[in-house]
Structure 1
Amino acid sequence: MTKLFIRKARIQDVKQIHALLMHCARSEFLLPRSYNQLYSHLRDFFVLAEHDAPGIRGCCALSICWEDIAEIRSLAVNEDIQKQGWGGKLVEACLSDAVTLGIFRVFTLTYRPHFFERLGFVPVEKEKLPQKVWADCINCPKFPECDENALIMEM
Structure 2
Amino acid sequence: MNIRKAHIRDIPAIQELINVYASQGLMLPRSLNSLCEGLRDFLVVEEAGKIVGVGALHILWTDLAEIRSLAIAPERVKNGLGLKIVRALLEEARQLGIEKVFTLTYQPGFFEKCGFHRVPKDALPQKAWKECFDCVKFPNCDEVPLLIELKDIQPNQTG
One fold, TM greater than 0.5? Answer: yes
Q: Residue 122 of structure 2 aligns to a residue in which SS?
A: helix
Q: Report the AA paired with residue 9 of structure 1.
A: A
| Gapped regions of structure 1 (runs ≥ 5) | none
Q: Give the structure 2 partner of residue 75 of structure 1.
A: 70
Taking structure 2 as the reference length, the TM-score comes to 0.91
Q: Give the structure 2 partner of residue 121 of structure 1.
A: 116
Q: Residue 15 of structure 2 aligns to a residue in which SS?
A: helix
Deviations 1:119-141 (A, max 9, x none): 100001111112111x2112211
Q: Give the structure 2 partner of residue 93 of structure 1.
A: 88
Q: Report the AA paired with residue 8 of structure 1.
A: K
Q: Distance in 2 between matches of 1:45 and 1:83?
A: 21
Q: Distance in 1 between matches of 2:6 and 2:70?
A: 13
User: Does 1:39 find its partner at 2:36?
Assistant: yes
Q: Among residues 122, 130, 146, which one is paired with 2:141 in the alignment?
A: 146
How many residue pairs get aligned? The number is 149
User: Does 1:12 find its partner at 2:17?
Assistant: no
Deviations 1:5-43 (A, max 9, x none): 211101110010011111110011110000000010101
Q: Report the AA paired with residue 51 of structure 2.
A: I
Deviations 1:50-97 (A, max 9, x none): 2x32x1011000001111100000000011111111001001111111
Measured on the aligned residues, the alpha-carbon RMSD in Å equals 0.8
Q: Distance in 2 between matches of 1:5 and 1:126?
A: 35
